[in-house]
Amino acid sequence: MSSSSTSKNQNSPQLRKDIIFNRWVIFSPARSKRPSDFKSKSSSSSSSNPTGVRCPFCIGNEHQCAPEIFRVPDNNPNWKIRVIENLYPALSRELADPVDETGSASSVLDGFGFHDVVIETPDHDVVLSDLEREGIGEVFVAYCDRILELGKRNSIKYVQVFKNHGAAAGASMSHSHSQMIALPIIPPSVSARLGSMKEYFDQTGKCSICEIQQEDLLIDSSTYFFSLVPYAASFPFEIWIVPRYHSAHFHELDAEKAADLGGLLKQMLRKISLQLNDPPFNFMIHTSPLHGDESELAYTHWFIQIVPQLIGTAGFELATGCYINPVFPEDAAKILREVNV
Ligand SMILES: [Zn+2]
Ligand SMILES: [Zn+2]
């Protein structure tokens, strides 16, 4: 990634270009007191998850849920993970596959697609970061299996995996779960990311993620992955987990790498919980389109983005697409490195 040509003065704002998402970020440290003061005002678990609560996602309440797609282990009443349909899907799997209108000027499509829920644990009181590294790895493998199944349809162009943890991050159920939305289109921010990575590749012959600047931004690393605060992070304490090896598609992950990734994700979630007062957070898996052009494989490289919800999105961000981040990534990385989990 491009490095800064000007030295950083702690007190003056700086603009940095995020060359992956192709947007400018304003770093404005004067807007907060000290980076370490940047804690969540309310813990994500303070209002939810009193012990003993049961919900439709709990083991034994399967009949209260929308239909199951598969469970892990298969056919086992003592399941560890269930992938089910969303009771209130954003898109409908009942509609006919749309005719491929790629390249047409059509600006309307039937709302065809899949909206699934991944219940990460049978136990209401367990959160994702409580699971062992292998347990989190099995959740990743479940995402991969479902993406491979959805990818058998030519009409599905992109699958977005995401997790909302805590009501302020958009979670309507406190029982630990994540979601997958399979789309008949490539979403605009994915197209922008691909375009930006292609531009870097065309100019340098290299993958922008393989070349990512680590130095004082690195938080930790494992056998196959590393975690860092990106140079032009849009959000305070945003973390990326990146494969050390070049890989375009998340769903190519095997069980060994999934467990390794599980270990590093667990560490990062525990670090933000300890340093930022258990904040609500989102994580998103940024992968490459299904059935894409072969040439995309050379310059696309998947990664996970974790965003603690510490500040809201307001008018300026909505208007400009430019985020204002009060914490310099170097400072955020230092605070996250400091805590041992
Ligand atoms: Zn529950
Ligand atoms: Zn790469």
The string of pLDDT tens digits covering residues 131-183 is 999 999 999 999 999 999 999 999 999 999 999 999 888 888 999 999 999 99
> So what's the pLDDT on residue 200?
96
In a domain, 189, yes or no: yes
* d(CA 64, ligand 1 centre) in Å: 11
What CATH number did the domain enclosing 297 receive?
Answer: 3.30.428.10
In a domain, 100, yes or no: no
Residue 115: its H or E element: strand 114-119
Q: Which ligand is nearest to the CA of 20?
A: 2
Map residue 179 onto helix, strand or coil.
strand
**Active-site residue 177, yes or no?**
yes
* d(CA 173, ligand 1 centre) in Å: 8
Reported pTM? 0.92
pLDDT digits (tens, 9 = 90+) for 213-258: 888 999 999 999 999 999 999 999 999 999 999 999 999 999 999 9
Q: Which long-range contacts (CB under 8 A, 24 or more apart) does 311-314 make?
A: 311/235, 311/236
Of residues 63, 115, 165, 177, which has the active-site annotation?
177
Closest CA to 220 of 165, 263, 283, 275: 263
> So what's the pLDDT on residue 3?
45
Q: Which ligand is nearest to the CA of 49?
A: 1
Mean pLDDT of 275-286: 96
> So what's the pLDDT on residue 1?
45
- Confirm if 237 and 40 have CB atoms less than 8 A apart: no
CA 235 to chain centre: 13
Q: Is the peptide bond before 73 cis (omega within 30 degrees of 0)?
A: yes
In a domain, 90, yes or no: yes
Q: How many domains does the chain have?
A: 1
Local confidence band at 97 (pLDDT 50, 70, 90 cut-offs): confident
| Phi, psi for residue 243 in degrees, rounded to 5 | -65, 140
* d(CA 167, ligand 2 centre) in Å: 34
* d(CA 264, ligand 1 centre) in Å: 25
In a domain, 149, yes or no: yes
Q: How is residue 197 written in tokens?
A: 């990575």
Local confidence band at 38 (pLDDT 50, 70, 90 cut-offs): confident
Whole-number average pLDDT of the chain: 91
Q: Which ligand is nearest to the CA of 175?
A: 1
In a domain, 99, yes or no: no
In a domain, 229, yes or no: yes
In a domain, 104, yes or no: no
> So what's the pLDDT on residue 40?
75
In a domain, 4, yes or no: no
Domain around 281:
14-94+110-337
For 328, which DSSP code? Answer: -
Strands 323-325 and 23-27: parallel
